[in-house]
Structure 1
Amino acid sequence: MSGQGKLVLGIDLGTSGARAVAMTAAGEIVASGAARLTAFSDDHRDPLGWWKAVQAALAQALEAIDGSHICAVGIDGTSGTMLPVAADGAPLATPLMYNDPVGDTAILERIAVHAPKESAAHGATSGLAKLLTFQSLPEVFRVIHQADWIAGHFTGLYDISDENNALKTGYDPVARNWPEWLARTGARIDLLPDVLPAGAPVATISPAAAEAFGLPSETVIVAGTTDGCASFLATGADRPGDAVSALGTTLTVKMLSDKPLFAPEFGLYSHRIGDMWLAGGASNTGGAVLAAHFSNDRIAELSEQIDPASDTGLDFYPLLKPGERFPVADPAFMPRMEPRPTEDAEFLKAIFEGIAGVERLAYERLVSLGSPALGSIRTVGGGAKNGVWTEIRKRRLVVPFLPVLSEEAAAGAARLALSGAKEAGVL
């Protein structure tokens, strides 16, 4: 271990479990650990289960390294997951998860009236709606985000958040403050955490946490981020124009920009990361359309019959049903998947081409909204493994396709820890 020098830790608390990685100053992952939430609790809303999963994942990672080399820790959590806490961090109610909607229409109406249209605080699953739900509880000290709560176990501070997690709670990332309109919604401003830039040093580790994990007393805990932002950072994308396409059930595109992009009609807002902005959109096209027609094995078989260097001449916009979010915002937008070629391989090729066309349109939309020109693409998700599809995409997008350093959100949290360690002067 002496040859690896100082290390940082990244911790990711996701929807199904926790992961931890140890990373060198050069960005190399040298140890990792994982734990499923179900191993500790039958309820994914159980904060004690969250913490036990984090402890288990971290312990597993630390088994493979010398913990005395750790100098900083970064943490990400699910965006929009909120819980009310006492001053010592004790949860005062069952948390509301990222996808738990608030059903109180009066709360939602107050937000709709007072929040600017470009704010990410709109909607029944926003952090602000959850704050308004929890704020009348007796003895409430703060209403904080999942990542804030986990970080509090390392610092003893339960009143600090980051600019990424705070976005859906109404934080203004351009002015870098909690805006004055929040009070007009009835929100108790005194219950909001202080906000730091993602990756900024928060505090050194508490004596209790240092002893529990065998970490140095000077270990710096940095302000965290959301799981989505961490997953982007994990890929290695770090310059304006760098983009990441996620080819999963749906198609998601994200790009680093030198200016913030806000387009509420597309559900588009921007996270502030350092001196850059992370913006993106999600289409309804993607792997779900492929799965509706072919099994994975059949896709692999048919892909061997496809020549990616030629075009079908078809103009598909593959959707399972009417309605699109991005790059077109139209709930009545109709799928285009006709005429269907008689050969299955040609039909699959036309779908590949169609999704690649939507991907190109998505990046063109970001540019039209003010992003820099698309400079490079890194690809994650199941679709990234299909070489034929990749070649079709390369022909459509005409930019360098770069390797992904990691698809682990924990690696993105570790990269924030590297940044914070440098800022704090411990690396």
Structure 2
Amino acid sequence: MNTPLAIGIDLGTSGARAVAMTPDFEIVAQGAARLADFGASRREPRIWWQAVEAALRAVLAKVDRAWVHAIAVDATSGTLLPVDVDGTPLAEPLMYDDKVSDAALLARIAAVILAESGAHGATSGLAKALVFQSVPGVTKILHQADWIAGRLAGHFGTTDENNALKTGYDPIDRHWPEWIAATGLRTELLPRVVAPGAPIETIAPEMASTFGLSEEVEIIAGTTDGCASFLATGADRPGDGVTALGSTLTLKLLCDRPIFAPDFGIYSHRINGMWLAGGASNSGGKVLAHFFSTDEIARMSNGIDADISTGLDFYPLLEPGERFPVLDPAWAPRLEPRPADDADFLKAMLEGISAIEKLGYDRLTELGAPPLHSIRSLGGGAANPAWTAIRRHKLGVPFLPAYSQEAAAGTARLALIGLESVGDL
């Protein structure tokens, strides 16, 4: 193969995946490794690295390494760790879903934070950074993707605009805002921020030797796992929407302007000269799984007629509280009256989640986003034909195939952008 290759690496909650991609977006090799193969803890950076290394080696074994020109990394948004000057982790990382319980610390943030900031809440990167700044010897507080990229580059201290959002970065003015210092955080501990797809530096010589790569390989700034998943689908025009039908319902819409609406749980990432706006509902597949097994859902779905509505107005939640497309900690579930037929009950829940999806995209448009003109779907729910048919009725736009379901493919696209910026394509 006589064409440059870019490699995208996705570090998720259960493992690492890597893909090699050509400049015309063809995926020519893939590799994967489970975190569990290297240890029981998802919180140990050593295990993260071993899984990434295994996935990367699996890809490199299938391509001509001389043609690898760039590598980029995505990882879970909001996972942070403190490191010393050599990049050595100094404390157990706080994961994306860990909550900071220090009320006084959270109050310091609440007193100064701007309403539009992505750093609200006990799980924010900013709250975790305030916890970590007291760790002895800390010189930088990094996001998970930053640390992996730092291992490859041999330099720790750079992040991307998407990972930085939940730590308080201002994506509109493109800097760490002054109010962050008012929280008491030592801002010198924050990494420098570059755009996703921007070159960081060439690969560290020892890493080039370890993986049999050229020392000219560019390490490119990556993104969050959510943004990478969007890019992987091939969506690239304002009005392109991507719905992830996993345990929760997540919507992202490509926009020509930023949409920040904290009252509706909406924020935006800057990506490829555009904006990715959206939010995540507390509804989704986990509600279905509470009532029925995977096999039961598949069996009953085969008998669902999507053309005939149940007439029920369900809002499927397991407990009170919603975050998008409404933000209300007391928002009540609606799962009654329950039909006597389990298949009708499932159908009503699918209709309800589909209605939430439509409300989410409508809400984005009301707030200034372009109208939804196409949908690509990700997650386990995307394979359910009855659910897809119900969603088609609700949304009324073309359903397009996702180019890839792999977040690593989206990150590989960013690596290609970086190659183009340095003239290697």
Percent identity, aligned pairs only, is: 63
Which stretch of the first structure deviates more once superposed, 102-111 or 178-187? 102-111
Given the alignment of the two structures, is residue 381 of structure 1 paired with residue 379 of structure 2, yes or no? yes
TM-score, length of structure 1 as denominator length: 0.95
Q: CA deviation at 1:138?
A: 3.4
Q: CA deviation at 1:214?
A: 1.2
| Aligned mate of 1:407, from 385, 390, 405 | 405
Q: Relative to 1, partners in 2 of residues 1:388 and 1:202: Cα closer, same or farther, differing over 3 Å? A: same
Q: CA deviation at 1:109?
A: 1.2
Report the count of equivalent residues.
425
Moved over 4 A (4+): none
Q: In 1, Cα distance between the equivalents of 2:135 and 2:348? A: 55
Given the alignment of the two structures, is residue 149 of structure 1 paired with residue 138 of structure 2, yes or no? no
Q: Which residue of 1 aligns with 2:9?
A: 11
Given the alignment of the two structures, is residue 215 of structure 1 paired with residue 217 of structure 2, yes or no? no
Q: Which residue of 2 aligns with 1:361?
A: 359
Q: In 2, Cα distance between the equivalents of 1:89 and 1:205? A: 15
Q: Relative to 1, partners in 2 of residues 1:16 and 1:309: Cα closer, same or farther, differing over 3 Å? A: same
Which aligned pairs between 1:193-204 and structure 2 lie closer than 5 A? 193-204=191-202
Which aligned pairs between 1:169-208 and structure 2 lie closer than 5 A? 169-208=167-206
Q: CA deviation at 1:336?
A: 3.0
Q: In 1, Cα distance between the equivalents of 2:291 and 2:49? A: 41
> 1:75 is paired with a residue of what secondary structure?
strand
Which runs of 5 or more structure 2 residues have no equivalent in the other structure? none
TM-score, length of structure 2 as denominator length: 0.96
Which stretch of the first structure deviates more once superposed, 308-317 or 399-408? 308-317
Given the alignment of the two structures, is residue 303 of structure 1 paired with residue 317 of structure 2, yes or no? no
Which aligned pairs between 1:71-86 and structure 2 lie closer than 5 A? 71-86=69-84
Q: Which residue of 1 aligns with 2:38?
A: 40
Which runs of 5 or more structure 1 residues have no equivalent in the other structure? none
Q: Which residue of 2 aligns with 1:281?
A: 279
> 2:235 is paired with a residue of what secondary structure?
coil
> 2:98 is paired with a residue of what secondary structure?
coil
Given the alignment of the two structures, is residue 50 of structure 1 paired with residue 12 of structure 2, yes or no? no
Q: Relative to 1, partners in 2 of residues 1:345 and 1:90: Cα closer, same or farther, differing over 3 Å? A: closer
Match of 1:198, as an amino acid? P
Given the alignment of the two structures, is residue 167 of structure 1 paired with residue 169 of structure 2, yes or no? no
Match of 1:15, as an amino acid? T
| Aligned mate of 1:120, from 118, 130, 133 | 118
Please list the CA deviations of residues 187-216 of structure 1 after superposition, one character each: whole Å capped at 9, or x if unmatched. Answer: 111111110001111111121111111112
Please list the CA deviations of residues 205-262 of structure 1 after superposition, one character each: whole Å capped at 9, or x if unmatched. Answer: 1211111111122211111111111111111111111111111222111111111111
Q: CA deviation at 1:333?
A: 2.6
Q: Relative to 1, partners in 2 of residues 1:206 and 1:353: Cα closer, same or farther, differing over 3 Å? A: same
Q: Relative to 1, partners in 2 of residues 1:101 and 1:320: Cα closer, same or farther, differing over 3 Å? A: closer
Which aligned pairs between 1:258-337 and structure 2 lie closer than 5 A? 258-337=256-335
> 1:421 is paired with a residue of what secondary structure?
helix
Q: CA deviation at 1:284?
A: 2.3
Q: In 2, Cα distance between the equivalents of 1:77 and 1:24? A: 22
Q: CA deviation at 1:176?
A: 0.0
Q: Which residue of 2 aligns with 1:139?
A: 137
| Aligned mate of 1:338, from 326, 336, 339 | 336
Q: Relative to 1, partners in 2 of residues 1:323 and 1:190: Cα closer, same or farther, differing over 3 Å? A: closer
Match of 1:318, as an amino acid? P
Q: Relative to 1, partners in 2 of residues 1:186 and 1:367: Cα closer, same or farther, differing over 3 Å? A: same
Q: In 2, Cα distance between the equivalents of 1:143 and 1:305? A: 52
Q: CA deviation at 1:298?
A: 2.5
Q: Relative to 1, partners in 2 of residues 1:104 and 1:305: Cα closer, same or farther, differing over 3 Å? A: closer
Q: Which residue of 1 aligns with 2:249?
A: 251
